[in-house]
Amino acid sequence: MLIILFCIFFFQKINLESIRITIELFLKSIMPSLFLFILFSNVLLQIDIKSGLKKVFKNNYAIIFIAIIGFICGYPMGAKAINEYLNKKEITTSQAKFLLTFANNASPIFILSTIGITMFNNIYFGIILAISHYLASLIICVFSLFHKDIIHESKTFLKSNNNNSDKKLHKTIFEALNVAIKNTYYTLSQILAYLILFNILSDELSYILNCLQLKPNYIYIIQSLFESTNGIKNIIFNCTYNINTILILSSFALGFSGLSIIFQIYSCIYTKRINIFYIMKYKLIQGLLSSIITYLLVNIKFKPSLQINTIISNEFTYFIIIVSLLFIFAASIKKVTKKLIS
């Protein structure tokens, strides 16, 4: 406690500036890109959509639903959905651990709009980062199925819990929306609090490393490990590397998500006795896979006649690419998760 109190007083000027910049970044970039997705996912968590999902996905409905939420709605909504379905006893702890390996990703709008358009000023770079991010997540999903910690659960266990959950009262749309709005603002305030905390830690550490005369490029990379959004922003605007290296570093930071996001994810499921290092391990793997995929993508040589920037910047093409990615991901998850219930 004395160390924390000392840091508050000694780094007071740095802390105040860090809080100001973080709140400005949150209000201008992060909140606008996340608000509707978080609200949408909270509404889905409140209303009863089980019967509809069962018709499409059979016994895999809970796993598929959580995977889709984690894919399109942005962290920490994947972890919140996992916690919600664990509390309902509609998924087991082993299935929750399986979902935690890949179902906590940045939302597509955040990557394409905030990172691609706002920071890089190039939607093409945003699409490269999005493809790398989600493809890495899908690879982890497939390989996690064969991990020794993934246990095949019996149909009897899931059936008994599903029958119990069906007895719960259904909420009206108004009730669901009212609760979802409250939960959305709670989630956003939680995100902001973690952003402030880890940006403060990052800036204080950066000050110390700067006094030790560590190269600025290395400091920006370390900052991205604490809080990815501000870290990626510093890498893009301040690093002296070439654009390909900046893209690869940004892809790793986006995949790893930063300690801020990892702690947000853990705060949703810490009561379930799941180790934070388990989450950190798979986020590190996702970061490495994302950076490798980005490296391969940026080194693909296109013919000048294709005019790739012009093609991808077309709004209709951009829409088709994103919808196709979502469809491929959902179809793949449905196929590979059948083994969990069989």
Predicted local distance difference test score (pLDDT) of residue 168: 46
Predicted local distance difference test score (pLDDT) of residue 55: 60
Backbone angles phi, psi at 161, to 5 degrees: -70, -35
Predicted local distance difference test score (pLDDT) of residue 308: 43
Alpha helices per DSSP H over the chain = 2-10, 12-25, 31-46, 50-57, 61-72, 77-87, 93-100, 108-109, 123-144, 155-165, 173-211, 216-226, 228-238, 243-256, 258-269, 276-298, 308-313, 315-336, 338-341
Is there a cis peptide before residue 76, judged by omega within 30 degrees of 0?
Answer: yes
Predicted local distance difference test score (pLDDT) of residue 161: 54
Please state the pTM of the whole predicted model. Answer: 0.80
**CA nearest 106: which of 132, 127, 85, 75?**
75
Predicted local distance difference test score (pLDDT) of residue 316: 47
| 66 CB-near residues (< 8 Å, 6+ apart) | 78, 81, 82, 85, 91, 99, 103
| 177 CB-near residues (< 8 Å, 6+ apart) | 43, 46
Query: How many Å apart are CA 158 and CA 91, to the nearest integer?
Result: 7
pLDDT in tens, the chain (342 residues): 677 777 777 788 888 999 999 999 899 888 888 888 888 888 877 776 655 566 655 666 788 888 888 888 888 888 998 998 888 888 888 888 889 999 999 988 899 989 999 999 998 999 999 999 999 999 998 887 765 444 455 344 445 455 544 444 456 777 888 888 999 999 999 999 999 999 999 999 999 999 999 999 999 999 999 999 999 999 999 999 999 999 999 999 999 999 999 999 999 888 888 889 999 999 999 999 999 999 999 887 544 333 444 434 444 444 455 555 555 555 555 555 454 444
Query: How many Å apart are CA 112 and CA 57, to the nearest integer?
Result: 29
The answer to whether the CB of 129 falls within 8 A of the CB of 247 is yes
Contacts 24+ apart (CB under 8 A), 54-58: 57/334
What angle, 0 to 180 degrees and rounded to 10, lies between the N-to-C axes of helices 31-46 and 61-72? 170
Predicted local distance difference test score (pLDDT) of residue 303: 40
DSSP state of 153: P
DSSP state of 102: T
Tokens read off for 43: 């509404």
Phi-psi region of 58 (alpha: psi -120 to 50; beta: other; left: phi over 0): left
The answer to whether the CB of 62 falls within 8 A of the CB of 92 is no
